[in-house]
Amino acid sequence: MTASPALLELAVDIAREAGELAARRRREGVSIAATKSALADIVTEADREVESLIRDRIAAERPDDGFLGEESGAGESRSGLTWVVDPIDGTVNYAYGIPAYAVSIGIVSGRPDPAAWTALAGVVFNPAVGDLFRAAQGEGAWLGDRRLAVNDPVSDAGALLATGFGYDPATHAGDLARLTKVMPLARDIRRIGAASLDLAGVAAGRLDGYFERGLHPWDMAAGALMVTEAGGRVGGIGGAAAGRSMTIAAGPDLFARLTEIIVE
Ligand code: IPD
Ligand code: CA
């Protein structure tokens, strides 16, 4: 199965509308609706409202497609396609007013699990700065009319690496130990706070590489396709698929070096 141009266009259209709603709600003021897996893991009313807008539009235009979203769970697919959606990735940035958050929409075929799916199309839209990244399988990754390409090999000065830390404090010691091991490869580290933007950043050459433990399918469905369509590689530990246990993304040369170091 491949993504028709019309399917990507629909995803772009929905991401734009959703992003504009998120930005509008941000301007009006944001309040935290609840905490989820940990006290630091928050959801705002806007996350829920934006996800319902996306879900309703998909249901109206593609009623047979499945849905997997961060805030409202899963809906069965009859077409074989599933939309994997993070309505506001970077919710903590959003709540604090840091302009690094994004609507992330991936369309996958097969079981909506990163180890099993084939990603067909993806859109990552940061309405705070107006960046709309898009990719379709075999058609490249794009930011506006610029076709994206990962940095490969990286500069002799070392790699600009991004990472993230899980919400669960119990994982922090492991996250920091991993970072210490990776540090010799790095010219510097970024913690941007939105996995979809980290991945799109690797695709666009704004970052050389990215790694993080604990990602959910909606954090990475769109961004991982962008990296591979921009000539990069995405995977987990020891040749496993990227997923909850680890996601590593970079150009081929740096990817090989990172996967040698990141073994847990
Ligand atoms: C989070 C962000 C963050 C990453 C977390 C994600 P959310 O998503 O992508 O950068 O470190 O693992 O859960 O909660 O802002 O949608
Ligand atoms: Ca997310």
Q: Write the pLDDT tens digit of every residue in 4-23.
A: 889 999 999 999 999 999 99
CATH entry 3.40.190.80 includes domain 159-262: yes
Distance CA 9, CA 5 (A): 6
CB 124 within 8 A of CB 206: no
Pocket test for ligand 1, best of 89, 191, 218 (most atoms within 8 A of CB): 89
Q: Residue 238 carries which DSSP code?
A: G
The whole-angstrom separation of Cα 90 and Cα 106 is 16
What residue segments make up the domains of the chain, in order of their start?
5-147, 159-262
The Cα 142–Cα 31 span in angstroms is: 33
Does 90 sit in the ligand 1 pocket, CB within 6 Å?
Answer: yes
Closest-CA residue, ligand 1 atom 2, reads 194
Q: For atom 15 of ligand 1, which residue has the closest CA?
A: 90
Mean pLDDT by 10 residues, the chain (264 residues): 86 98 92 79 87 97 96 90 97 95 98 96 98 98 97 96 93 96 98 98 98 98 98 97 98 98 96
CA distance 207 to 78: 38
Cβ-contact 78, 64 below 8 angstroms: yes
For the Cβ of 47 lying below 6 angstroms from any atom of ligand 1, the answer is no
CATH topology of domain 5-147: Fructose-1,6-Bisphosphatase; Chain A, domain 1 (3.30.540)
5-147 shares its CATH topology with 159-262: no
